[in-house]
């Protein structure tokens, strides 16, 4: 599905730089995804091309990649990930004073184990070489409801 529904013949005959720049930006920047371009997207792309003395219609992949890095603010480092997580948590109303991105990994492992996924499968998914590492990530490992003795006692008490 084309993100910019304009007949191809119109692109070839019109000299509309904005429209042609949209096609260049779409093909180079959003490969494999659908994206609706707005007029402001195109203005930003044209301004960036002008600032970098680049013809928008002659942009090649490396130019588009530079544009995307500029648009997104560069690469994320671990501090940027922490800031992003704190921002998202604040927007969601979650208060955790020592929140960090690695907590998401612990939550992922704990949730999978709580859902009944086998330790071996979680270990493979988390890319841990040793299952003991996966067990350390399990935040609910001290939960007595999951302790084998309690599970056995509950089974025996049920009479089955």
- Summarize pLDDT for 61-94 with one digit per residue, the tens: 788 778 877 877 767 776 878 888 888 888 888 8
How far from 115 is each of 87, 111, 146, CA to CA, in Å? Answer: 28, 6, 12
How confident is the model at residue 69, as a pLDDT? Answer: 79
Contact 28, 48 (CB under 8 A): no
Contact 21, 57 (CB under 8 A): yes
Burial class (CB in 10 A: 0-12, 13-18, 19+), 62: exposed
CB atoms within 10 A of CB 103: 13
Tokens representing 146 are 């999951």
Which of the four pLDDT bands, split at 50, 70 and 90, describes residue 27?
low
CA dist., res. 135 & res. 1, Å (int): 45
Which of the four pLDDT bands, split at 50, 70 and 90, describes residue 11?
very low
- Its pTM stands at 0.44
Tokens representing 47 are 């301004």
Q: Which comes out higher in pLDDT, residue 95 or 10?
A: 95
How far from 42 is each of 12, 14, 70, CA to CA, in Å? Answer: 18, 17, 15
């Amino acid at each position: 599905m084309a993100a910019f529904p304009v007949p191809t013949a119109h692109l070839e005959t019109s000299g509309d730089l904005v429209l042609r720049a949209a096609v260049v930006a779409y093909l180079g920047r959003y490969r494999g995804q659908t994206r609706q371009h707005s007029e402001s997207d195109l203005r930003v792309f044209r301004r960036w091309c002008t600032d970098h003395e680049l013809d928008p219609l002659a942009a090649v992949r490396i130019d588009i990649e530079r544009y995307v890095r500029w648009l997104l603010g560069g690469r994320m480092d671990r501090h940027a990930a922490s800031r992003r997580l704190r921002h998202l948590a604040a927007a969601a109303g979650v208060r955790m004073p020592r929140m960090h991105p690695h907590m998401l990994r612990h939550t992922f492992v704990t949730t999978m184990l709580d859902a009944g996924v086998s330790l071996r499968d979680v270990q493979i998914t988390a890319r841990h070489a040793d299952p003991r590492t996966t067990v350390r990530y399990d935040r609910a490992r001290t939960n007595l409801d999951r302790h084998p003795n309690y599970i056995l006692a509950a089974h025996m008490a049920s009479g089955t």
